[in-house]
Structure 1
Amino acid sequence: MTSRFFKIALVLGLLSAIGPFAIDMYLPALPAIGASLGANSSGVQMSLTAFFLSLGLGQLLYGPVSDMVGRKPPLYFGLGLFALTSVGCALATDIDTLIVLRLLQGLGAAAGMAIPRAIVRDLHTGTEATKLMSLLMLVFSVSPILAPLAGSAVIALSSWRGVFWAVTIAALIGLVLTGSVLKETRPPAARLESSLGSALRGYALLLRDRHYLGLVFIGSFAMGGFFIYLANSPFVLIDHYGLTPTQYSLAFALNAAAFIGMSQFTGRLSERFGLVPVVKVAAIASAVPLVLLLGYYLAGGDELAVLIGLYFVASAFMGLVIPSTSVLALEDHGAIAGTASALLGTLQMLTGAVLMAVSGPFIGNKPLPMVVGMAGGAFIALALTWLTLGGQRAPRLAQAG
């Protein structure tokens, strides 16, 4: 693989990570934000849910627009909007204002989620796309390791408001890299048949494609269980288990490291065994430790080491499921890659937001309700894997991988 290949993966990964960075840096600050703005945990979690909703829905806009006008102009707009609203979040004086600004901030971040996947599909398919997607996921996944630690450091040196000044700087760096490193991968000739009408027809086509939707929702529910952990682990690990924000960040980073490490084997494994078998085995291997974790807490266990250890294993195999299902979902839709990538991202974010909203009233600082949600997401992902990839198309797609 050439240095250009790695450079593109690095930039696309950084662009993809800006939105998650604004989530993960934010996590250690959740209790402090509630105390500073006089908000309860439900109100603070709503600011996180608002970000997820707009991060998901915004991709529906950016995908078709990037098919119509090219990949770079929507990236410029999204990163600019993200930077402006990040400044607003840093200056917010009440929780309602913060929620509205987080909603707009997520809309800006959505550009960095939808468009890099479309660029991957513009450049490559099959195993090469999987390798590039895995490298992108490597950079993207560094965010959950570095962001909470960086967030804890920023909070210690300034306050929770410093988190938003930091992500403003990240967005400005993203703008510079987009202008200086990325080339346009959607040439004018490819845009001729792209319009609002074609976008709507593309969405209609995708929503009728049960195979595409099955693959999307495998990743959606695998990530959905993680989103439940994301929203509730600060309260469980800090309030229930007594970790400091820095210790929480290290515990969170451990799971992210497992995801990153295993995701880098996706290209090799898919080249040897095919994408479909990799997804099937990884979905099982991700669900089993979460079922064991659920059984442990139902039996009355309450050791933090067990929670972190079993979720470490689940996170590792999730690192195979998510990039593989993304590549498979986009494989047959190269002509509308932006639209297909946008719908994929939207459905994943909305699934996570809905699961967080539904589970929110039942989850406090006790681990068992959180673990129920995490295991439920993994179990649904496993069921969808066998419903989607157990049929006649599996061998063909395995060869395509």
Structure 2
Amino acid sequence: MFRAALILGLLSAVGPFAIDMYLPAMPAIAAGLQADVAAVQATLTAYFVAFGIAQLFYGPWADQVGRKMPLYAGIAIFTLATIGCAIASSITMLIVFRAIQGLGGAVLMVVPRAVIRDMHTGPAATRLMAMVMLVISVSPMLAPLAGAGLITIGDWRLIFWVLTVAALLSLGLTATALPETLPQDKRVPVNVRNLLRGAKVLLRDPVFMGLTLVGGFGFSSFMVFIASASFVYTGQFGLSPAGFSLAFAVNAIGFFAASQAAGPMGERYGVLPVIRLAVIGFAAFAIALFALVWAGIGGLPVIIGGLFLANACLGLIIPTTMVMALDPHGDIAGLASSLGGTLQMVTGGAMVVVTGLFFDGTALPMVGAIALCAVLTLMLALRTVAVMQHNDAKLAEG
């Protein structure tokens, strides 16, 4: 399991690196391309939305031809778009290439999750997902520091050249180390009828939709943080790019450290109690942080500490809901993974856009949007858990 987690984690980390590595350079990009904050944030939104929509394509394709061919195509698109980002001469050009980059990078979200479902289900899948997320966790800890280091020896464009090298390495890893996990007899031909049938099943499944949106609004809070933190930490609190990278890493460590406990806690206490406790904690910490900032006592240590605690709860929510949403749909795991990922990314992109309408470079709009995401996560989770318990009770009676 460790080898599979390492390979899948390294592949999955390329997409987060494309986000986290250039975060310290966002103010420099604004200055270099003579763009405002909203335009620079749009480079993230374009990536997220394209990333989400493209998953609808890669999932069914991976169900038809296997897992490796879509990886080759997606990584190639990602590589070419990353080169385009490196040579962009305007903010509009950068936004366009970031969108194309997202179209390619989406494959690195869909296929690894489908591979996990091919190999395991239940708690074993949760453990593997958590191990993959442990490998991915180097991104928020090391990628911003790497980006801050790169802009000290070059400009922000150097970050995208380094990402190009990483994409090429991931292409080699796919070719040499990743086995094909979907046998021929389990492949599903792609046609409109199959897609509509599968999508109809998923969209009518209240548990799938509930778990997907629980993870979606939870992840949206993290996307809001990603889009806003560099401007808050460097603008309002005067941190250097390296200082921002360290603060960002502390906030992200809470998420990924807690994600490693998701599998063992689910086995010991049950998945539903863990989800219920985690969403309550997430909402409580996010609302408390918003109240402190609203009251004018939300200094940098308070914000970092509050986000650490909230993100730790989030780390228990996202891997668990991902696995549980896919578990009953093994025959269409690729489509389920892609549809779920699309709904989550589009939800997150929408929240970033809404936050941008009110964002003024300070912490209050950022933590307010995070608190809103937390409340929505709590409401959806409690409703979904109730449906799942009702379904279990009916099965027990039958």
CA distance in 2, matches of 1:224, 1:88: 27
Answer whether contact 1:276 1:394 (CA < 8 A) is retained. Answer: no
State the partner residue of 1:372.
368
State the partner residue of 1:135.
131
Superposed, which structure 2 residues align to 1:89-238 within 5 Å?
89-238=85-234
State the partner residue of 1:74.
70
Answer whether contact 2:117 2:333 (CA < 8 A) is retained. Answer: yes
Deviation of 1:61 after TM superposition, in Å, equals 0.5
Give deviations 1:41-74, integer Å, cap 9, x for gaps.
1111111110111111010100000001110000
Give deviations 1:187-215, integer Å, cap 9, x for gaps.
11111555443123211211111110000
Deviation of 1:257 after TM superposition, in Å, equals 1.2
**AA at the equivalent of 1:39:** A
Give deviations 1:158-201, integer Å, cap 9, x for gaps.
11001101111111111111111111111111115554431232
Larger deviation, residues 57-66 vs 202-211: 202-211
Superposed, which structure 2 residues align to 1:314-333 within 5 Å?
314-333=310-329
DSSP-derived class of the 1:252 partner: helix
Answer whether contact 1:260 1:316 (CA < 8 A) is retained. Answer: yes
Deviation of 1:11 after TM superposition, in Å, equals 1.2
DSSP-derived class of the 1:88 partner: helix
Superposed, which structure 2 residues align to 1:267-346 within 5 Å?
267-346=263-342
Deviation of 1:40 after TM superposition, in Å, equals 1.0
DSSP-derived class of the 1:331 partner: helix
CA distance in 2, matches of 1:334, 1:392: 18
Deviation of 1:328 after TM superposition, in Å, equals 0.6
**AA at the equivalent of 2:19:** I
**Relative to structure 1, is the Cα distance of residues 394 and 285 closer, same or farther in structure 2, using a 3 angstrom cutoff?**
farther
Task: Work out whether 1:253 is the aligned partner of 2:249.
Answer: yes
State the partner residue of 1:13.
9
Deviation of 1:361 after TM superposition, in Å, equals 1.6
What is the root-mean-square deviation of aligned Cα atoms in Å?
1.4
**AA at the equivalent of 2:38:** S
Answer whether contact 2:232 2:361 (CA < 8 A) is retained. Answer: yes
**Relative to structure 1, is the Cα distance of residues 192 and 115 closer, same or farther in structure 2, using a 3 angstrom cutoff?**
closer
**AA at the equivalent of 1:115:** V
Unaligned runs of 5+ in 2: none
Unaligned runs of 5+ in 1: none
Aligned-residue identity in percent: 48
DSSP-derived class of the 1:333 partner: helix
Give deviations 1:61-103, integer Å, cap 9, x for gaps.
0000000111000000001111111111101111111111111
**Relative to structure 1, is the Cα distance of residues 259 and 326 closer, same or farther in structure 2, using a 3 angstrom cutoff?**
same
Superposed, which structure 2 residues align to 1:382-401 within 5 Å?
382-393=378-389, 396=392
**Relative to structure 1, is the Cα distance of residues 116 and 381 closer, same or farther in structure 2, using a 3 angstrom cutoff?**
same
CA distance in 1, matches of 2:6, 2:392: 31
DSSP-derived class of the 2:387 partner: coil
Answer whether contact 1:235 1:364 (CA < 8 A) is retained. Answer: no
TM-score normalised according to structure 1 size = 0.96
Answer whether contact 2:207 2:387 (CA < 8 A) is retained. Answer: no
Deviation of 1:327 after TM superposition, in Å, equals 0.7
**AA at the equivalent of 2:126:** T
CA distance in 2, matches of 1:37, 1:313: 36
Answer whether contact 1:232 1:364 (CA < 8 A) is retained. Answer: no
The alignment covers a number of residue pairs equal to 394
**Relative to structure 1, is the Cα distance of residues 87 and 288 closer, same or farther in structure 2, using a 3 angstrom cutoff?**
same
Larger deviation, residues 335-344 vs 189-198: 189-198
Match of 1:83 among 54, 59, 79: 79
**Relative to structure 1, is the Cα distance of residues 391 and 204 closer, same or farther in structure 2, using a 3 angstrom cutoff?**
closer
DSSP-derived class of the 2:78 partner: helix
**Relative to structure 1, is the Cα distance of residues 360 and 317 closer, same or farther in structure 2, using a 3 angstrom cutoff?**
same
Give deviations 1:247-278, integer Å, cap 9, x for gaps.
00000001111112111111111111111111
